[in-house]
Amino acid sequence: MSAAAEAIASVQAKAAGSSFYAGMRVLPKAEREAMFIVYAFCRAVDDIADDMEGPRDERAQALAGWRTDIEALYAGEDPGRAALAAEIVPRYGLIKDDFLAVIDGMQMDVNQDIRAPDMRTLDLYCDRVASAVGRLSVRVFGMDEHPGIELARHLGRALQLTNILRDIDEDAGIGRLYLPRELLRSAGIETDVPAAVIADPRVDAACRELAELAHQHYAAADRVMAARPRGRLAAPRLMGAVYSRILRKTEAVGWAPPRVRSKLGKGELLWVVLRRGLFG
């Protein structure tokens, strides 16, 4: 079995039932499998960044190994683990810098545990770990350059901010805090210690400010798709609908402790898929 086939089989087994899998199911087989390969790459480097038991220098070396493999793939040399993407890179015109940007984003987590970054650093992080993935994705979707890049910018940031707002307890549990410093200070929270921040009821105000930014990105992404640019828009439209709904559910509960992590039930996810995936 080829590296690509193994990656596709692994993603199908692990992601079945997830909102990502639901979004990709609306794509034709070739594009769906290409997206599974992109996801497999992202999952591999993300697992390195999140391996909290591994020493930082070893995780950094592992990410450097992936950089070497991506460089080799584009140089026509032995691509090592990047062989999984060998067919889809020329087929869809995937850009090397976007793969490397994803690795750079994971490197930010490896260098040190991110704690209350300033807004500029948070935006850079979101661009690398999410919008760069979007830039790879919109090429698979067959979008033209300008609307594709705009959609990747806004939808990637919206999805990542939603994840941050949904996962503040899980992130604090591993010593990370992605809520931006400016919003924490505005809410009256002076500490950057994750456990202390999430235990403070005033964190709700900071989170609501960040949620508003996420909503702005969802709205900008919707405007791009409403213009009906060329390409397969069902998948990004569905992902935006699912995650914006998760954000609204999270907002309804709020972020003051104790919190309950919001998610969509199978019936609710199916309803969104039918409404947005099939009917747009």
- 115: β partners: 177
Q: Going by CATH, does the domain composed of 113-280 fall within 2.30.110.10? A: no
Please report, for the chain, the start and end positions of each structural domain, with discontinuous segments joined by +.
1-109, 113-280
User: Residue 24: pLDDT above 90?
Assistant: no
DSSP secondary structure string for all residues of 38-51: HHHHHHHHHHHHT-
Phi and psi of 76, rounded to 5°? 75, 20
| Token pair recorded at residue 93 | 């015109």
163-183 burial by CB neighbour count: b if 16+ within 10 A, else e? bbbbebbebbeeebbbbbbbb
Separation CA 47–CA 225 (nearest Å): 32
Give Cα separations from 96 to 25, 85, 133, 135 (angstroms): 26, 11, 12, 11
Q: What per-residue confidence (pLDDT) applies to 30? A: 96
**How confident is the model over 197-221, as a mean pLDDT?**
98
Q: What per-residue confidence (pLDDT) applies to 202? A: 98
Residue found under tokens 């403070």: 200
Tens of pLDDT, residue by residue over 154-204, are 999 999 999 999 999 999 999 999 999 999 999 999 999 999 999 999 999
**How confident is the model over 207-229, as a mean pLDDT?**
98
User: Residue 277: pLDDT above 70?
Assistant: no
Separation CA 147–CA 140 (nearest Å): 14
Tens of pLDDT, residue by residue over 31-90, are 999 999 999 999 999 999 998 888 999 999 999 999 999 999 999 999 999 999 999 999
Q: What per-residue confidence (pLDDT) applies to 279? A: 44
Separation CA 194–CA 163 (nearest Å): 16
- Banded model confidence at residue 280, pLDDT cuts 50, 70, 90: very low
- Banded model confidence at residue 267, pLDDT cuts 50, 70, 90: low
Contacts of 148 (CB under 8 A, 6+ apart): 135, 138, 139, 141, 229, 231
Separation CA 38–CA 33 (nearest Å): 9
Q: For residues 206 and 240, is the Cβ–Cβ distance under 8 A?
A: no
DSSP 82: G
Instruction: Please name the residue ranges forming H helices in the chain.
Output: 3-15, 19-24, 29-49, 56-75, 88-92, 96-111, 119-126, 132-140, 145-166, 168-173, 181-186, 194-199, 203-226, 234-253, 266-272
Q: What per-residue confidence (pLDDT) applies to 52? A: 87
Mean pLDDT across the chain, nearest whole number?
92
Q: For residues 140 and 107, is the Cβ–Cβ distance under 8 A?
A: no
